[in-house]
Structure 1
């Protein structure tokens, strides 16, 4: 594989000293280091994977790093997102991560984009004043994964992608013209209600640094031209057994030609829920144990609630809510839940449209609540 980036100017003495341990690697040398110094890498996501990838790239000598993310640092991030600390809670993740990079290497140029990654925004970034050599996708959702793949195809640049969930991780490289792409491996997204995120499925914290290191390594290999990148191979890592395995795959004759960016939420069957507020299972459990005044509304069917429900909740099936029934008025946030969360999202939207302002849905539903240790009961209060 030819190097992706041309070498920059010769290294000054301080940079030679900084990178001495990698300059002496067989087949690496100053030429490879100068390529890293000239490289411009755009990273999507400043969470579990991004907070592992970005510091590794900065420490290795990448000259310019772009970071895209719209989230703020939360307490629940800190067990796995090691670039953020307690003092960063409430700050934009991109700002916290940029500060981490500055502490590693002040000469590394960081460009932050505090925004949600969607087609128009990413298209503007790719066609703006900055020229990017490589994309790295550390997102946690399928719409963004397909979006970054298609951008890499249209821009003719490589994409390094990774994903993590529970105890397993995957890493791959997508680069049309040099090997198959993400769409060849995953032609169609899974059903929206079957796609788990780390928030709903959980993640072993050390998995983030393991997979993030693999991703950073692939980026370094592509930029410098050393080694064999993960083209046409996806690497699976099982943290519980400490085993890795490879799945080879090739280009598909049935893969659609990518000519433009599309609505990837629609493509993946995702609803546009930007106007809906949610609460995680862990956050709800914490608020309940803290004695916060909350109203719990179960929008499942009676036979489902007979099996288990959150203690203190009121039953109002989604069908009755659609027919015009309303929950009793009361103080405190109204938390709507179902078995997972599709019905509760619909219920929250109905309630918002009917004039109920302080309403959130429980992400992952009662399944997620029970999985984090939340107590449930089998009796049901009288329906409204």
Structure 2
């Protein structure tokens, strides 16, 4: 992996803290920080980096110290996962233009992706998700992506912005997005034609109410994802007071943590970004605390992903043979994590939820089965 130091700000967050500031069991005492020439993140399972670029949201926006405010809260949390090694590279250096910053971020993410690291990106504006995607694109790797956002950022624009980046991500050619899931959109804030567009592309979208009614419905989507992007506006204002343009409705803080834990459990997911945090609007740093706790639960999920058995090791799964509408199939339930898989007619097993099994038992075709079949055509 090439030397990435030229892409980062000279001063690291940890250098503002006196030696011994953190207790031995707090994360701040157990994260390896890029403050010395001898720094090496080779042994790290997860790599943290920040990028306070907001010019994709507002053209003249200042570079934000939001990533460091989130670090302030995360470093103070206690480390219950000693088997997980974390390195913190610091913050991407601000470029003369937004495109300069994006280019630096894209290069760093690509290098970390090639090195096989799980990356946790503390963003600025939501358009930086495009750099998450570009890291895979530069490796010619097809991916499944998931985004949690109350909006669907498919506006048409000559420039890439926080409201239009999905258009570039999902329609640019050559395209490496094999499948896309949108989680937690709020119908009254989304143009119906946007949903029609996603449906024609055979992508999946989950309305906020549906997810809150049964949050397990999106676990299979996150289990299949390589990339997860979380716009903090998906959380309701009372739980994330940074959301000046947010909504009184949205995920609770607890639900946001459940979603990120699901993402951490995915053996495929290597890129996780959180966006939309502006410390100038955060009352008592409550939103920073929430994002720090979301990351804590993501780490918890990464710990659990290591315990899951291979699908070929059938002794670690309970098998259920089901017939529905002239289809014979097999459902598997993991003895270790309780997660479910279903077998398609081509004999491939795909992630599913317990509700899919119940639907099949009622002699009905699970919607997830139909969607998977559509994508095979």
- TM-score with structure 2 length normalisation? 0.28
- TM-score, normalised relative to structure 1: 0.28
| Structure with bigger gyration radius | 1
